[in-house]
């Protein structure tokens, strides 16, 4: 017998929910555009701009990364909090492709008491 397919990860519906998710993820470590898209943020640049306009201390730099299909992309935005929340993670290399389960597990681990 085969294993039933896993249900798809539901995207964060509202812009506010997507902004909140961006902040939770950036509080853990810097994230690039493709990683944010994997989590259902349909237009990460717009959500980040909205957060910056709300006064959030987010900075961006450009990196080269590989997407989930193995394609190389240059000039991808890597977003990070500039207030020191993820300061220790700035010494790690930019994240590579990973699964939704890995990303959600990382958020759950960071937020657990």
Q: Which DSSP category does 60 fall into?
A: E
Query: Above pLDDT 70, what percent of the chain?
Result: 62
Kindly list the domain boundaries of the chain, sorted by start residue: 15-106
pLDDT higher than 80, residue 89: no
Return mean pLDDT, the chain: 77
pLDDT in tens, 23-32: 999 999 999 9
pLDDT higher than 90, residue 55: yes
Between CA 20 and CA 44 the distance in angstroms is 12
Q: Which DSSP category does 58 fall into?
A: E
Distance of CA 76 to the CA centre of its chain: 12
Element (H, E) at 10: none
Tokens coding 90: 């700035």
Q: What is the pLDDT of residue 67?
A: 80
Task: Output the CATH code of domain 15-106.
Answer: 1.10.10
């Amino acid at each position: 017998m085969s294993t039933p397919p896993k249900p798809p990860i539901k995207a964060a519906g509202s812009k506010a929910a997507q902004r909140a998710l961006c902040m939770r993820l950036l509080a853990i470590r810097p994230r690039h555009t493709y990683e944010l898209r994997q989590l259902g943020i349909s237009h990460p640049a717009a959500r980040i701009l909205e957060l910056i306009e709300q006064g959030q201390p987010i900075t961006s730099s450009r990196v080269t990364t590989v997407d989930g299909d193995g394609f190389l992309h240059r000039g991808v935005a890597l977003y990070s909090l500039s207030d020191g929340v993820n300061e220790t993670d700035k010494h790690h290399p930019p994240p590579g492709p990973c699964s939704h389960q890995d990303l959600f597990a990382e958020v759950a681990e960071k937020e657990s008491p």
